[in-house]
Amino acid sequence: TLWADLTVNQNQEDEDEDLPRYTEQYTEEQLLAMLPDWLIEDYVQGNVSGTCIEMLMYRAVFLKVDCVDMYYAEQSEITFPILSAMFSLMTSMSGRPPVMEVYANRGPDLIRKKILVPQSDIQLEEVRNLEEKERRAILNRSLGLRLDENFDEIPDDWKLYIATVIFWMRRTSPLEKNNMHLRAILVTIVCSLVNDKIDNEGRRRWRRKPEFHDYFSTK
C-alpha cells in the first residue's frame, strides 16, 4: 500500500523537502475561472466528486477515515493510482510539476507525504472534446489495464464493473481472500442489475427476503 512500512524519519523529511510545496490561496472567483464550465456544471449536478475540487484548491488529497479501527490502513489507499491520475489532470493547466500532498492517519497520528505524480499529457479543458475511446483509454491506464486485456466480448454495461474488480484484486493482499471477496462482488453486481430491471412496486416486494425466496424457489 501507499504507506506500507512508512515511518516518519529524517531521510523521508529530506526527500519531501526536495519537492516544492504550493501554498497559493484562491478566491472563489479565481477558482471558478480556473475550471472549465462543463466541470462546474457536472460538479453542481453531483456528477463529479468534490475530491477534484479539493485537488485544485489545496494541491492535496485527503484520505478520509472510513474504517472502524483507525490503526488500519485507509481503504481508499488502494485507489492511489486513480487519485494520481485525477490529480495530474486537475493540475494540468498550472504549468508546474504535479506534486501531490497526501494526508492520512495512523491512529492518532497525521501522516503527510509529498509525491511527484506523472505529468498529464492531456489538458483538463480538452477532456470533454475527446472521443469516448480516448477517454476510456485514460480510465484504463488509471486502472492499470494492459493493452493485451481484451474487453470487447464483455457487455458494455459490465466493462467498468469487471475493470474495477481486476484493479481491486491486483492492489489488495492477501491474495487468498480474493476469491471470497470476488464472489461477493459478483453477487452484488448481479443483484444490482436485476434490481434495475424491477419496477418500484416490485422492488418493495422482492427486497423482503421471505417473499423473494418464496417466489423464486418455485421457478
Q: Which residue has the higher pLDDT, 75 or 105?
A: 105
Q: What percent of the chain has pLDDT over 70?
A: 67
Listed range (5-14, 78-87, 128-137) with the worst mean pLDDT = 5-14
Percent of the chain with pLDDT over 90: 0
Q: Range of 107's domain?
A: 1-129
Residue 125 domain-assigned (yes or no) = yes
Burial code of 30-67, b = ≥16 C-beta within 10 A, e = fewer?
Answer: eeeebbeeebeeeeeeeeeeebbbebbebbbbebeeee
Provide the whole-model pTM: 0.66
Strand spans (E) along 51-128 = 60-62, 99-106, 109-116
Q: How far apart are CA 170 and CA 205, in angstroms?
A: 38
Could you tell me the three cell numbers for 111?
501522516
Task: Report d(CA 128, CA 112) in Å as an integer.
Answer: 33
Residue 82: pLDDT band by 50, 70, 90 thresholds? confident
> For residue 69, is it within any domain?
yes
Q: What are the pLDDT digits (tens) for 124-162? A: 888 888 888 888 888 888 877 776 666 777 777 777 777
| pLDDT band at residue 215 using 50, 70 and 90 as cut-offs | low
Residue 4: pLDDT over 70? no
Report, as an integer, the average pLDDT of 18-36: 76
Q: What pLDDT score was predicted for residue 194?
A: 74
83, part of any domain: yes
Distance of CA 66 to the CA centre of its chain: 14
| Sign of the four-CA dihedral 183, 184, 185, 190 | positive
pLDDT tier at 118, thresholds 50, 70, 90: confident
Q: Is residue 152 part of a domain?
A: no
Query: Is 177 a domain residue?
Result: no
What domain count does the chain have? 1
For residue 164, tell me if it sits in a domain. no
Residue 12: the pLDDT is 42
pLDDT at 64: 74
Question: Is it the case that residue 205 has pLDDT exceeding 70?
Answer: no
Task: Write the pLDDT tens digit of every residue in 160-190.
Answer: 777 877 777 777 665 555 677 777 777 877 7
Is 136 within a domain? no
Give the per-residue pLDDT at 54. Answer: 86
- Compute the mean pLDDT over every residue in the chain, rounded to the nearest whole number: 74
Is residue 146 one of the residues assigned to a domain?
no
DSSP 150-180: --TTS-HHHHHHHHHHHHHHHH-S-GGGHHH
pLDDT at 207 over 80: no
Asked if the model's pLDDT at residue 204 lies above 70, the reply is no
Q: Which helix (H) or strand (E) holds 210?
A: helix 209-216
Neighbours of 153 (CB within 10 A): 5
